[in-house]
Amino acid sequence: MKSSKSGGRKSSGSGKGQGGAVAAPRPVILDFVQNRIAAYDGMMGGGVGVRKDRHGYTLFREDCGEPLARLRPQADGRFAVLYWNVFNERWRSVGDFGDVVLTLDDALEYIAKDPMDCFWR
């Protein structure tokens, strides 16, 4: 094997420009829905985190990590609202007769008001 040479370039010795990864000070939210959920949480006083996974958006309490709700995207741009059942440890439909499907803003308001008393226990 040939030894690699710098080709006349001088190394600064500081480690900059060496191809190392630089950690960003804060994560960048590129997802519009996730950004909108975070903005709504900020308007309401904070305390709720959001995480995106393959099934949708999971809202959880930041203080203890307890799941609150899941917003599952539907084909028409709306979201099915699910709650975390602590007894079965799984996501369940809020309504007795199927999913509650709402626009993003309506879904966030529905979770905040909690008319079925299933999110904020």
pLDDT in tens, 3-41: 445 455 554 555 555 666 776 677 665 678 999 999 999
Backbone angles phi, psi at 105, to 5 degrees: -65, -40
| Per-residue pLDDT, 96 | 82
pLDDT at 78 over 90: yes
* % helix, strand, coil for the chain, step of 5: 20, 30, 55
| Per-residue pLDDT, 17 | 55
Quick one: which of 60, 63, 44 has its CA closest to 52? Answer: 60
Spell out the domains of the chain, with CATH numbers in brackets.
Answer: 32-113 (2.40.128)
Report field, pTM of the whole predicted structure over 0.85? no
pLDDT at 81 over 50: yes
Residue 118 corresponds to which amino acid?
C
Mean of the per-residue pLDDT values of the chain: 84
Give the span between the Cα atoms of 39 and 42, in whole angstroms: 5
| Per-residue pLDDT, 38 | 93
pLDDT at 104 over 50: yes
